[in-house]
Chain A
Amino acid sequence: MPSHNPVASDAEARIEVKNTTCYMCACRCGIRVTLRDGEVRYIQGNPDHPLNKGVICAKGASGIMKQYSPARLTKPLRRKPGAERGAAEFEEISWDEAFQIMEERLAHLRKTDPKKFALFTGRDQMQALTGMFAKQFGTPNYAAHGGFCSVNMATGMIYTIGGSFWEFGGPDLDRAKLFIMLGTAEDHHSNPLKIAMSQFKRNGGRFISINPVRTGYSAIADEWVPIRPGTDSALLLALIHQLLKTGLYDRDFLVQYTNAAELVSVDEDSDDFGLFVRTDIPHPKDCFDPQDRVWWDRRQDKAVPARSEGADPFLMGEFTTADGRRVKPAFQLLKERVEKYTPEWAATVTGIPVETIERLAYEMGITARDDKIELPIAWTDVWGKDHDTVTGNPVAFHAMRGLAAHSNGFQTIRALSILMTVLGTIDRPGGFRHKAPFPRPIPPCAKTPNSPDGVKPETPLGGMPLGWPAEPDDLFVDDRGEPVRIDKAFSWEFPLAAHGLMHNAITNAWRQDPYAIDTLLIFMANMAWNSSMNTSEVRKMLNDKDENGEYKIPFLIVADAFESEMVAFADLVLPDTTYLERHDVMSMLDRPISEYDGPVDSVRIPVLPPTGECKPFQEVLIELGSRLKLPAFTREDGSRKYRDYPDFIVNYETEPGSGIGFLAGWRGKGGEKFMKGEPNPNQWEMYEKNNCVFHYELPKSFQYMRNWNRGYLNWAQEHRLTRYAEPINCHIYSEVLMKFRLAAQGKTEGKQPPEHLRKRVETYFDPLPFYYEPLESQLSDKQKYPLNAITQRPMAMYHSWDSQNAWLRQIHAHNHLYMHPSLGEKGGFDDGDWVWVESMWGKVRCMCRFSEAVEPGTVWTWNAIGKAAGAWRLSDDANESRKGFLLNHLISEELPPHADGEHLSNSDPITGQAGWYDVRVRVYKAGDDEPAETSPQFDPMPAVPGTGKTPKWLAYFAGKFARGKNP
């Protein structure tokens, strides 16, 4: 008999099981944490959680190694007097001292010039709180990661269909028959997407992936369509071309639910050129989107009010109105637009064979038409018409940063949204589905101030720090049309920068353009490494001093949980807790975890006490807000309003008595209300009892067609998800964009772009999607730099923050540059050789790896595996810093000087989305005499006080037996 008991039980140990929400990534799965004698024994997916239904990913299952990582910061730190920034020489201070330092400095700034305080936050999930703090402080200089992340996806879709992928909606794979995924490696919806994709495949669905690289999800695609980076709009426009040409579009959907049939004035010299023809139909006051457009009725052959009873409009053609104006339906303009975008043309741009493009169009069109879904769900539309069924065309799409992270991404994503619309798949079964609080009006209502007057000492900001401009007058610029924000968001350079341009904050602050700031607070962003473009130079800027020997960015506060590269540059370090140690909310005010069937929000409840002196950043903000006496955190008598963060979450209301707070569930005194209701003192307990989730399932009749579903819209209005219960028609033709173009053409009264930007705004603010080469490509010597370089998310690593994780780093210890073997043949190097990859901005030495799963004009690598020596408490010779590399050194945050200006961000000219994937490179063999090591290298970062020991080996065993087993 065996003597070792393979099923030994934990009987003698003290076992506790607690639910909370994972934060090894932004997906926010429900987890169940088992503690043995107070140590984490097991983290599993919570089977009762709507998002992940019990599954977990590689990161989530490695939470133990994050919790006990030696790289954790555990003490507030101050840069040692006399020590240089970047040298990471710190001394421990108390929280009291830390708060004093911040209070003094920030109070002064608030009194004098609040915009000199800038708050930028990275991949966090508490923008509702950080944004509110910034607004209360009165600074416009606030943004989160969206600008360098995927704002193109958000804006491109929201300005077209009132909702987006990303965290606001997605493909209905339960019912889809054909699924096309573009430019997605992993995305935020990590586990749910995986669950859905495998079910979809097993149900016999057909899955096509359009991506220059075949890994991860693309690996299991039924068909892989390799595409040249940055050319998706060419493909999408050609698909639309083909669908329009063959009549494979959903006419009824287009007519009723989009602006396709609405007439646009096309007389160049008329006042309303390029705008929709409007009638003076009376419409309710306080209306967001007056339904005052016009159709050309086929039967009466004349203009009639859009959607009037019995009317059947032309989608194509040109007409002359009674008053002699030439008009065309928006769809006709689209048809004219895509005329030249033939499959033959697209083939030369994308590298995809003509037959494939045609076939893709047919597959989409035929599936949409012939596999129609009809669900016996009765609903009523906003116009009062009853429908017995909900119908759907089962073609679903998903796309992410492969489209978004190009400087033509906005228009590409517009093209995609229009393709989805043309196929009639918006918020219908088998197509795209919204998630609360979406859909929203186009564009959503939130606005920034529109002049510098919005920024005043001792006063909250006169608007939101971030918003959704609907017209030039919404821009946040001064009289000369110059930006008010440090990142130049909402200026004429990036008018629709709905998420800000965090990637330019440091460069602009360093150049003091448009002005100098004093204090920069960075929370959960590693801007000295992977979230900066041009990383090497940005590191210098963070350290740069003026003639007087003062740092150009005078004071830098970093709130981080680990010894990241960013920490080295801090003047003050605030040690944050881990996700297992704090309260948190995934709020409806931010990015909740809603499902297609209704709103869902969730919380984190600590399962462990904070380590060392770690303090949740939420608590830091509440404390600071109270000390600075920001109105929202202070009672009338000036005393502190909230004891702590949990207290804040329960009792804060967006406006006194609004009944709207961070959490939507169990509101009202006894928890009987939801979405809206008085604070409930027991709200946290109720979340705790319910797997940390609040999930409201909408009645079936409210679950579809929500842009036009009267029941849903009224419900949403009643529950204060939205102000307006009006139809949200899809914008085939974007009047919003046209208004900016008209301003650039000098045809409008309102705000006008500065001269040097007129051409740029006119060109890119095209009301219909068009193909253009990404800006950096346009300005690159493509003979010299023939290749596109892109990155992908590895599934088992989250950005830069998992290299401290002893288990995950074994899966990705370093990265390679993947490329087609033909490049090696041409360049005379072999698989595994050290090569230089060089862009016009710089070069990086790395190891190459040949692959047949990449488009031959593309090289790629896993993102953020490479690290700076010594960071994350890795040894100086760790693989991450010696063999791993960061592509960001090759990517500039600014375009080369050109006609439109000198320091324009390397971003989408409409939204300011960072153009990560636009860089052009060449690859050549490294010299035999060169060291077999990554270049550039940086001085190793020393261990900072409060971080842990790094043992030579480790044998984790949770609980009281541990003593015997651990080294």
Chain B
Amino acid sequence: MHPAFSVIFLTTLIGVGQGLFLALFTGQSYSAVELLPSQDSTHFYGIGGFLALLFLIGGLIASVFHLGHPERAWRAATQWRTSWLSREVIALPLLMALVFVYAMMHYFAWDTVLFTSGTGARLQASLVVGTLGVIATFALFLCTGMIYACIKFLQEWASSLTVINYLLLGTASGFFFATAFSAWAAPELMRFYGIWTAIITLAALVTRLASLIRNNRIKHKSSIQSAIGVRHTKIVQKSQGAMGGSYNTREYLHGAPIWMFRSIKWVFLVLVFPVPLALLWLGLAQGSGALLLAGFIVQYIGLLFERWFFFAQANHPQNIYYGAV
């Protein structure tokens, strides 16, 4: 597939937003059961929530560039019965609304305690909203992942690993951001987030490697033989009827030279995993917010490469018909 920059930014930015929201919610939940010291609602959860929202909005804006007719985007919510894309279109604003409410509640301290348990754990209204947010977040991860995973003949994508990777990579980057953010806003949570970041990043490494291995081993079901219905071991396309190219040659072929395609795999593997982890370790060790932020940025850039590769690696069967470039 030809990697569309709008989609690369859309998926990575909302990934950060979703992950960050999960991180905030995790932090607040831990605090609620007093496993962590509680934080300044306005400055940490409030601002943090707005930052998550900003990432989500960034993603939304990026997605608009993907649409031919953004003014009709509302129509995209109509086919939730059959279309994962439609479901994503519903899940994303829903999540944004919940994150917005969550952030407002914290920022303006509209939060109320709904219930305090015997042990002193308090159930705040924001936690209820947050829980709904978490559900929306997971739903959104599922929708985003399924958009790709549900196209069965895009065999590189048609796997639960696609959804898991979206989930883990987004969450890792969000947690990383939360780590860096906490260096400023809540230094005592820094280590907490840092450890979670490391765990999720490592988990993502495992699942992403798993998908790379899987994709390496894929046996494509379609062949030039099944594509044109001629049985012969040697079939070569000589012309595709459009010498200046067509939509089909632009949308489905990454067009990068093979060395670039291969190196981008290594670039993302390095930028998403070891380098950020090293920076994370250093940052945590030195308590340096700057290093942590650098770690997040490196990982985010790595994710841009990862997403590029995710698209580029997907081999659309239609390309069999457009092999003679």
Chain A residues proximal to chain B, CB less than 8 Å: 810-814, 849, 851-852, 879
Q: Is B238 an interface residue (CB 8 A)?
A: yes
Q: Which residues of B contact A849 (CB under 8 A)?
A: 238
Contact (Cβ within 8 A) A814 B238:
no
Contact (Cβ within 8 A) A810 B236:
no
Selected from B234, B236, B241, B243, the residue in CB contact (under 8 A) with A879 is B243
Q: Can you name 5 extra interface pairs (CB under 8 A) apart from A811-B241, A852-B236?
A: A810-B243, A813-B243, A813-B244, A852-B234, A879-B243
CA–CA, A814 to B244, complex, Å? 9
Q: Which residues of B contact A851 (CB under 8 A)?
A: 238
Find the B residue at minimum CB distance from A813.
B243
Contact (Cβ within 8 A) A810 B238:
no
Contact (Cβ within 8 A) A811 B242:
yes
* CB-defined A-B contacts under 8 Å, sample of 16: A810-B242, A810-B243, A810-B244, A811-B241, A811-B242, A811-B243, A812-B243, A813-B243, A813-B244, A814-B243, A849-B238, A851-B238, A852-B234, A852-B236, A879-B243, A879-B244
Q: Which residues of A contact B236 (CB under 8 A)?
A: 852
Q: Which residues of B contact A879 (CB under 8 A)?
A: 243-244
CB distance from A897 to the nearest CB of B (A): 41
Q: Which residues of B contact A814 (CB under 8 A)?
A: 243
Contact residues, B227-279 vs A (CB, 8 A): 234, 236, 238, 241-244
Q: What does the 1/0 interface line of B266-294 toward A look like (CB < 8 Å)?
A: 00000000000000000000000000000
Q: Which residues of B contact A810 (CB under 8 A)?
A: 242-244
Residue of A811, A851, A879 ringed by the most chain B CB atoms within 10 A: A811
CA–CA, A849 to B236, complex, Å? 12
CB distance from A395 to the nearest CB of B (A): 30
Q: Which residues of A contact B242 (CB under 8 A)?
A: 810-811
Q: Which residues of A contact B234 (CB under 8 A)?
A: 852
Find the B residue at minimum CB distance from A849.
B238
CA–CA, A810 to B238, complex, Å? 16
CA–CA, A879 to B244, complex, Å? 8
Q: Which residues of A contact B241 (CB under 8 A)?
A: 811
CA–CA, A674 to B243, complex, Å? 49
CB distance from B20 to the nearest CB of A (A): 40
Residue of A810, A814, A851, A852 ringed by the most chain B CB atoms within 10 A: A810
CA–CA, A292 to B234, complex, Å? 63
Q: Which residues of B contact A812 (CB under 8 A)?
A: 243
Q: Which residues of A contact B238 (CB under 8 A)?
A: 849, 851
CB distance from A830 to the nearest CB of B (A): 14
Contact residues, B197-243 vs A (CB, 8 A): 234, 236, 238, 241-243
Residue of B234, B238, B241, B242 ringed by the most chain A CB atoms within 10 A: B238
Shortest beta-carbon contacts, A-B, top 4: A813-B243, A813-B244, A810-B242, A810-B244
Residue of B234, B236, B242, B243 ringed by the most chain A CB atoms within 10 A: B243
CB distance from B308 to the nearest CB of A (A): 26
CA–CA, A958 to B242, complex, Å? 24
CB distance from A854 to the nearest CB of B (A): 11
Q: Which residues of A contact B243 (CB under 8 A)?
A: 810-814, 879
CB distance from A367 to the nearest CB of B (A): 29
CA–CA, A450 to B238, complex, Å? 53
Find the A residue at minimum CB distance from B234.
A852
CA–CA, A813 to B249, complex, Å? 16
Find the B residue at minimum CB distance from A821.
B236
CB distance from B114 to the nearest CB of A (A): 47
CB distance from A14 to the nearest CB of B (A): 32
Q: What does the 1/0 interface line of B27-61 toward A look like (CB < 8 Å)?
A: 00000000000000000000000000000000000
CB distance from B236 to the nearest CB of A (A): 7
CB distance from A559 to the nearest CB of B (A): 31
CB distance from A132 to the nearest CB of B (A): 43
CA–CA, A849 to B238, complex, Å? 8
CA–CA, A810 to B236, complex, Å? 21
Find the B residue at minimum CB distance from A883.
B243
CA–CA, A881 to B19, complex, Å? 54
Find the A residue at minimum CB distance from B325.
A832
Q: Which residues of B contact A813 (CB under 8 A)?
A: 243-244
CB distance from A252 to the nearest CB of B (A): 46
CA–CA, A852 to B234, complex, Å? 10
CA–CA, A812 to B244, complex, Å? 9
CA–CA, A813 to B234, complex, Å? 27
CA–CA, A959 to B71, complex, Å? 29
CB distance from B321 to the nearest CB of A (A): 16
Q: What does the 1/0 interface line of B81-111 toward A look like (CB < 8 Å)?
A: 0000000000000000000000000000000
CA–CA, A813 to B239, complex, Å? 12
Q: Which residues of B contact A852 (CB under 8 A)?
A: 234, 236
Find the A residue at minimum CB distance from B236.
A852
CA–CA, A879 to B238, complex, Å? 18
CB distance from B43 to the nearest CB of A (A): 50
CA–CA, A879 to B245, complex, Å? 12
CA–CA, A813 to B238, complex, Å? 15
CA–CA, A851 to B324, complex, Å? 12
CB distance from A520 to the nearest CB of B (A): 36
CB distance from A2 to the nearest CB of B (A): 12
CA–CA, A879 to B243, complex, Å? 9
Find the B residue at minimum CB distance from A796.
B241
CB distance from A847 to the nearest CB of B (A): 11
CA–CA, A879 to B242, complex, Å? 12
CA–CA, A596 to B242, complex, Å? 38
Find the B residue at minimum CB distance from A814.
B243
CA–CA, A556 to B236, complex, Å? 48
CA–CA, A291 to B241, complex, Å? 57
CB distance from B204 to the nearest CB of A (A): 40
Q: Which residues of A contact B244 (CB under 8 A)?
A: 810, 813, 879
Find the A residue at minimum CB distance from B243.
A813
Find the A residue at minimum CB distance from B238.
A851
CA–CA, A852 to B236, complex, Å? 9
Find the B residue at minimum CB distance from A215.
B238
CB distance from A954 to the nearest CB of B (A): 13
CB distance from A832 to the nearest CB of B (A): 9
CA–CA, A305 to B52, complex, Å? 110
CA–CA, A754 to B276, complex, Å? 92
CB distance from A952 to the nearest CB of B (A): 14
CA–CA, A810 to B241, complex, Å? 8
Contact residues, B291-308 vs A (CB, 8 A): none
CA–CA, A810 to B249, complex, Å? 14
Find the A residue at minimum CB distance from B324.
A849
CB distance from B230 to the nearest CB of A (A): 13
CB distance from A65 to the nearest CB of B (A): 15
Q: Which residues of B contact A811 (CB under 8 A)?
A: 241-243
CB distance from B234 to the nearest CB of A (A): 8
CA–CA, A961 to B94, complex, Å? 42
Find the A residue at minimum CB distance from B241.
A811
CB distance from B105 to the nearest CB of A (A): 41
CB distance from A59 to the nearest CB of B (A): 15
CB distance from B276 to the nearest CB of A (A): 41
CA–CA, A814 to B242, complex, Å? 10
CA–CA, A611 to B243, complex, Å? 31
CA–CA, A812 to B242, complex, Å? 7
CB distance from A866 to the nearest CB of B (A): 13
CA–CA, A220 to B76, complex, Å? 47
